[in-house]
Amino acid sequence: MKIKFNWGWGIAVFYSAFVLFLIGNVVFSFFQRTDLVTENYYNDELAYQQTIHKAERAKRLEGNLNIVQGASTIAIQFPEEVKGKKIEGSVLLYRPSDASADRKIRLNVNDNNFQVIDSRQLAKGLWVMKIDWFDGDSTYYNEEKITIQ
């Protein structure tokens, strides 16, 4: 008995291939890692207006916050305008591709207005530095993208 390939068989083959594609897509999607930007994104979003005000205050400073990358360090130079003031705050090194690699570092600014961070333990690739700082009078926020080589 010889089976003839007609339009009915074509529809069946197409439908079967489509179902296999969908099943494969579901299985593939099931094993993908999904990292949130932050665990408490809803609460952080409600407080984001404060971050916007801090960033605007940072832009109004006469000098800019500068980030200088060395071979094994990242140096943050704070504006001359705040020199001599006690700077407190933190640096969040945010890794967009891997939430488990994020690092939070407490600021410890030296007398020359520099904070030096050792970058040897950081994975190569894109990082976002979120610097939230306080100079005794006002709070500021800076965000810079850096690439570790």
Block residue for tokens 């890794």: 95
Q: Give the pLDDT of residue 132.
A: 95
Domains of the chain from N-terminus onward: 1-32 (no CATH), 41-148 (2.60.40.10)
Q: What is the per-residue pLDDT across 94-127, written as a single tens digit (0 to 9) for each?
A: 998 888 889 999 999 998 889 999 999 899 999 9
Block residue for tokens 């979003």: 45
CA dihedral 43→46→51→57, nearest 10 degrees, is -150
Question: The pTM is what?
Answer: 0.73
Q: Average pLDDT of 65-81?
A: 91
Cα 84 to Cα 37, 60, 114, 133, distances in angstroms = 35, 19, 12, 15
Handedness of CA 85, 86, 89, 92 (dihedral sign): positive
